Structure 1
Amino acid sequence: MFNLILFGPPGSGKGTQSERLIAQYGLKHLSTGDLLRSEIAHQTQLGLEAKAFMDRGELVPDEVVIGMIRSALDANPQAKGFLFDGFPRTQAQSEALDALLAQRNEAINVVLALEVSEEELVKRLLNRGLTSGRSDDTNEEVIRARIVEYHKKTSAVADHYRKFDKVVMIKGEGSIDDIFNALCAEINKRQAA
C-alpha cells in the first residue's frame, strides 16, 4: 500500500493534481474538503457546524476531521493506497493519522508539498470563487485569513514529517503537466525503493 499526503495552501492545485495522481496510481482520494462540502450540501449538523468555521476562514476542529478520516479508511479496506488531500493540517492530526495507519501496519510514504506565492493563491481562489459556489472563495479578506491560518497551523505538519525525511517541496506554479510530472517523479522514486 502506498500512502501520500498532497500538501499545500488553499488554491495551490491540490484538487487538480489529486485527480491526475489517483488516475495514474489507482489510489483512493481522501479529501477532507470534499467530505466537508458534501456534509454542507446535505445540510447535516456536521456540515452546518463546519460551514460556520470555514466562512470565518478557520479550520474545522480536529475531532470532526479525524472521525471522517477514520470512517473513510474503514470503508476502503481493499484500497491500493490513499492520497490525503487537505489533511492533516495540524500536528495533532499528523499524529492521529500516523496512529490510525499504524493500527493497519501502514504509514505515510511521502508528503508532497506544493509551493505557490500568496498573490498567485489569492488570484486563483478569487477566480475559482466565480464558479465554485464556495463562499470562502469570494472574499479576498477571508482568502488571506485562510492562507495565514494555513501557514500558522500547518508548518508544524511539515516539521513533523521532516523528522522522518518524508517531505518533498514541489514548485506549484507553472503548467499543470510540469507540476504533475514533478509529483510523479517523487512517487516513482519511493515506489521503486
Structure 2
Amino acid sequence: MVPHTVFRAVIMGPPGSGKGTVSARITATFGLKHLSSGDLLRANIKAKTELGLLMKSCIDQGHLVPDGVMSRLILSDLRGLGRTSWLLDGFPRTVAQAEALDKLYSVDSVVNLDVPFQTIKQRLTSRWIHLASGRVYNIDFNPPKVAGLDDVTGEPLVQRDDDTPETVTLRLKAYQTKTEPVLEYYRSKGVLETFSGTETNKIWPHLRAFLDKKLLAPREGVA
C-alpha cells in the first residue's frame, strides 16, 4: 500500500523496543522511505564526509553528537527526498532536534513503542550477534542452532559492549532523560500515538490498523 498523499512519521521507543523490526514492517506495508539516523551516521563516518568526520571526532571523545550537527545531517537527507512519504527512526532525540525538524516539515504521526524496561533488559542482555554479517540472535526467542555459533558460518557470536546488563541500564536511563521530553513535545501537538506491549507481533496489528486509518483519512496543509 502506497499513501495517496505525502505522509511523514517518526518512530520512537527505548533501545531494544523493536523499532528496527517495526520500521521494516511499516516501510514494506505502506511504502514509506525509512531514514535511520544510525545508518546515516555510520555511512557518513565511513565515507569521511565533513559531517562524518565531525561526528566521529565527537564519538571518539565520548561526547554526544551536537543537536545542530545531527539536525544538519538528517535534514539534508530529507530535503533530497523531495515530496516523499518517510519514516524517521532515531531522530529527533531531543526537543531542539524536534524543533529543527518542525521548521521544515509537518510531522503527521509520531509512533511511540512503549515496552517495559524489564522486558527490554531481558531482550537486550539475551542478544548476541555475528559481527561480520550483522545477524542477530536472541537466546530466548531466536537462538542459534548451535549455542554461541552463527548458523551460516559457524563462527563465534559476540555480545555487544552496550548490551551488557550494566550498560543497558545506563542506556535506558539516558533515554528517559533525553527523549521523554520529546514525547511530551509531540503529545502537546496532538500527533503522538503510543502502542504498549511486550511483544512486537502483538503490537503490530494495532499499529497497522492505526496507520491504515491515518493514511486513508483526508489531510490538509501538508508542508
TM-score range, shorter chain: 0.7 to 0.9
Q: Distance in 2 between matches of 1:41 and 1:127?
A: 29
AA in 2 matched with 1:33? G
Q: Are residues 1:171 and 2:196 paired?
A: yes
Classify 1:41/1:144 alpha carbon distance in 2 versus 1 (closer, same or farther; 3 Å): farther
- Ranges in structure 1 where 5+ consecutive residues have no aligned partner: 102-106
Classify 1:147/1:23 alpha carbon distance in 2 versus 1 (closer, same or farther; 3 Å): same
AA in 2 matched with 1:12? S
Q: Distance in 1 between matches of 2:164 and 2:191?
A: 34
AA in 2 matched with 1:113? N
**What corresponds to 1:139 in structure 2?**
164
Q: Are residues 1:90 and 2:94 paired?
A: yes
Q: Distance in 2 between matches of 1:181 and 1:157?
A: 25
Aligned-pair CA distance for 1:140: 2.6
Aligned-residue Cα RMSD (Å) equals: 2.3
Aligned-pair CA distance for 1:27: 0.7
Q: Give a deviation string over 1:101-140, Cα, whole Å, max 9, x none.
A: 1xxxxx1111111011112212222334534588553333
The answer on whether the counterparts of 2:114 and 2:195 sit within 8 Å (CA) in structure 1 is yes
Larger helix percent:
1
Q: Give a deviation string over 1:134-166, Cα, whole Å, max 9, x none.
A: 855333322221111111111111111111211
Q: Give a deviation string over 1:67-90, Cα, whole Å, max 9, x none.
A: 1111111221142x1101111111
Q: Which of 46, 52, 59 lines up with 1:51 in the alignment?
A: 59
**What corresponds to 1:66 in structure 2?**
71
Q: Which protein has greater RCO, CA pairs closer than 8 Å, 6+ apart?
A: 1
TM-score scaled by length of structure 1: 0.83
**What corresponds to 2:146 in structure 1?**
none
**What corresponds to 1:104 in structure 2?**
none
Aligned-pair CA distance for 1:5: 0.9
TM-score scaled by length of structure 2: 0.73
Bigger-Rg structure (1/2):
2
Aligned-pair CA distance for 1:41: 4.7
Q: Are residues 1:6 and 2:11 paired?
A: yes
Q: Give a deviation string over 1:33-65, Cα, whole Å, max 9, x none.
A: 111233445565245235337xx6x74321121
The answer on whether the counterparts of 1:128 and 1:137 sit within 8 Å (CA) in structure 2 is no
Name the % identity: 38
The answer on whether the counterparts of 2:129 and 2:160 sit within 8 Å (CA) in structure 1 is no
Q: How many residues align?
A: 183
The answer on whether the counterparts of 1:126 and 1:137 sit within 8 Å (CA) in structure 2 is no
